[in-house]
Structure 1
């Protein structure tokens, strides 16, 4: 009887510990509900009366298309420039390679408006090149975003390339493969997960970029974040701003879900 009582006590104690663990879930859920869910619900409720007017307007459609165009163009540019620089830093020996790699890490800590500010000193009407027309074009926004977000592609690529076995590269070279063939058939397939991860992060960040577009003030370059700012802060059209904010959130979360599914499927195939 004593053994049975002891066993029952142990079972009850274990059950209480398991039940107590669920209590630790409540504080983070409460924080998320107050700081994230509640404001989003308020934004969604505030947007209800203005959906028809905003979504049906040409201003909204143009901003949506422009946002996607800039994000995709900037991401493609970052992939091209980031891959080129990562290959040069990793496989082309030159003095100061470590310094350049360190500058890449430093760029990750800088605010985006500094890039836009530097563009005004280069392309502004009183800048070095005095290309004021370019500075107010959408291409200036794309170039500024490529300049700022390229390190987000380079950093994972540099890490992946540093883990490539040198013996694998030497074997490919000993079999007569030239540098371009080694890069195309050996290096890029090995670092493709890092390339996809960096490109996905860049696409999400450029889709929601606000500081560069605001600081450059490019004519005709109204993106969804800029439209939220204009309607909410300049025009005091809060319901309209909430509609665009909801669309921006849905677009970002949808893209994030698609990328997570794609990356998850890739990891499953690799496993």
Structure 2
């Protein structure tokens, strides 16, 4: 192994220091929230004067936290339906774009990914104005429609990577053997792109669950969503149950991330 010069050692040290700072910036706030959720204080305060589980008990109390439970149920239902709708749209779009080399396909792909680069507040306001123009009243289905527009690009990224790796010879062989397009999709295409579809569904679910801008504009008192409920609790009382709810969400998301990474190689597909 060649010896590193003084300049190379300095560069390696700088890179390592920058990586450490990046990790602290990413992980530090999460650790602070987790520690705060165990505080004995009556309000959000760090560092905590003591540790207790009382706020988790209060969070799961069906009477005291009934509104949080209702909002969480709405968010989970919307996220599940959004995941299904966004993944279905992304799968169809990915298969169409992967097999086309026309200029319109690249334009369509850019348009499909536009919600990722638009400011969230601007997109939420645009969605509100669009659905108001259609005279659509607030409902969970309206939230599903709005969240699907945001979540579909996340699913397209992983499904598109899987669709791009499909061997066209497999599709041609299936057609030559007399299989219909639907049978070819069900028996050949879907099994091959299934890991990408599963990864896309997971990303769509997570992006919908913590979506604030669209939920802020499209939700109502009857369709209260968990991020909006927690935000309101932060503004009015600095309720420690917000930190406890965040701790539950972080733990659940991390566990699901590990499962999905083991099952379908999620991190590899996101970077591919």
Fold agreement, TM-score > 0.5: yes
What stretches of structure 1 of length at least 5 have no aligned partner?
1-9, 15-20
**Structure of larger gyration radius:** 1
* Alpha carbons of structure 1 residues 260 and 156: separation in structure 2 relative to 1, 3 Å: closer
Greater than 6 Å deviation, 4+ residue runs: 21-24, 92-95
Q: How does 1:171-182 map to 2 (within 5 A)?
A: 171-182=173-184
* Alpha carbons of structure 1 residues 23 and 156: separation in structure 2 relative to 1, 3 Å: closer
User: Matched residues in 2 for 1:81 and 1:264: separation?
Assistant: 22
> Alpha carbon RMSD of aligned pairs, Å?
3.3
Contact 1:144 1:212 in 2 (8 A): yes
**Deviation at 1:169?**
1.6
Match of 1:259 in 2: 260
Contact 1:138 1:218 in 2 (8 A): no
User: Matched residues in 1 for 2:230 and 2:213: separation?
Assistant: 13
Q: How does 1:1-271 map to 2 (within 5 A)?
A: 28-29=19-20, 32-33=23-24, 35-48=25-38, 49=40, 50-56=55-61, 57-91=65-99, 96-124=104-132, 127=133, 129-131=134-136, 133=137, 136-233=138-235, 235-264=236-265
Contact 2:163 2:193 in 1 (8 A): yes
Contact 2:151 2:203 in 1 (8 A): no
SS of the aligned residue for 1:96 comes to: helix
Which stretch shows the higher mean deviation, 52-61 or 83-92? 83-92
What stretches of structure 2 of length at least 5 have no aligned partner?
5-11, 41-54
* Alpha carbons of structure 1 residues 176 and 220: separation in structure 2 relative to 1, 3 Å: same
Contact 2:91 2:160 in 1 (8 A): no
User: Matched residues in 2 for 1:92 and 1:179: separation?
Assistant: 17
Contact 2:147 2:208 in 1 (8 A): yes
State how many pairs are aligned.
244
Larger helix percent:
1
SS of the aligned residue for 2:113 comes to: helix
TM-score by length of 1: 0.76
**Deviation at 1:179?**
1.3
* Alpha carbons of structure 1 residues 165 and 25: separation in structure 2 relative to 1, 3 Å: same
User: Matched residues in 1 for 2:216 and 2:191: separation?
Assistant: 38
User: Matched residues in 2 for 1:121 and 1:76: separation?
Assistant: 25
SS of the aligned residue for 2:153 comes to: helix
Contact 2:97 2:105 in 1 (8 A): yes
Which stretch shows the higher mean deviation, 160-169 or 209-218? 160-169
User: Matched residues in 2 for 1:160 and 1:254: separation?
Assistant: 24
SS of the aligned residue for 2:220 comes to: coil
TM-score by length of 2: 0.75
